[in-house]
Amino acid sequence: MLLAIDIGNTTIALAGVHKGKVTAIQRMDTSDDPGVLVLRLNKALAIFHKKGYIFNRGVLCSVVPKILTVVEQTLIKSMGFKPKVVGRDVIVPIKNRYKNPKQVGQDRLVGAYAALRLYGQPLIVIDLGTAITFDVVSARGEYLGGAIVPGLRLSAESLFLKTALLPKIVLKAPGDIIGKTTEESMLSGLFYGYGVLCQGMVDLLSRRVGARSPRPHVVMTGGHTHLMKKFVSPKVRIIDEDLVFKGMALLASL
């Protein structure tokens, strides 16, 4: 079984993948403290072990270089194998049209590649993580680039940290677009606001792909997908929360 680990700025997600299917996922907060990080990783690995998961290979995708090193060394020590690292040991096989290809996060390329393989082109991938990214793949199967905006959690924390009276809130879907309390108003602004943003970006990016191309498939993924999906329908018809893990599994077999 393959152990796939997606290392983000705020969350590290670990998944067991068997024959291309994600069978279990664990998430943990990212930590700058190596000792804390190692403890959390070993705890997550122990839970997998108790559930009967036996990993014989691994693949890592990271946007945090210094944490990547800690995770890689922990796996070598705890699991007894050296994982492949996306961007170093395995290159995402998609034509990258960014002006400086090295500036594109490996997670964005992995998601675009997975969506291309699974759903065809042209396409738009919306990844709801620390940042919300919009990635575009052309009708020729080339990665064109996209757009980046602050994610739900980041925006909510900014409102709390940068204002005197707005509270820290737990992210949950609002019941009504008209908030009757400060918390409800913040949730409405975040969810309905980002829903409209996503819908508008899909329309703009779809037109930019070109009138001569088929309308792009739109795929949504990322940790906040389950919260946001009803706020972007019907613009998004493909929901795949495991997209990056599936892409990592495809890369591990190369």
Spans of all domains in the chain? 2-85, 101-252
pLDDT digits (tens, 9 = 90+) for 99-154: 999 999 999 999 999 999 999 999 999 999 999 999 999 999 999 999 999 999 99
Active site residues: 107
237 pLDDT tier (thresholds 50, 70, 90): confident
Q: Taking residues 25-47, report their average pLDDT.
A: 95
Q: Decide if 222 contacts 127 (C-beta within 8 A).
A: yes
The second-level CATH assignment, the architecture, of 101-252 is: 2-Layer Sandwich (3.30)
Q: H-type helices in 54-181, by residue range?
A: 65-79, 106-119, 152-162
Burial profile 93-115: b = 16 or more Cβ within 10 angstroms, e = fewer? ebebeeeeeeebbbbbbbbbbbb
Crossing angle between the packed helical segments 65-79 and 34-50, to the nearest 10 degrees: 40
pTM, full prediction: 0.94
Which tens digit of pLDDT belongs to each residue from 39-70?
Answer: 999 999 999 999 999 999 999 999 999 999 99
For residue 114, the SS3 value is: helix
The CATH number of the structural domain formed by 2-85 is: 3.30.420.40
What confidence score (pLDDT) does residue 213 get? Answer: 78
- Domains 2-85 and 101-252 are alike in CATH topology: yes
User: Residues 159-170: what's their mean pLDDT?
Assistant: 97
Please tell me the predicted confidence (pLDDT) of residue 74: 95
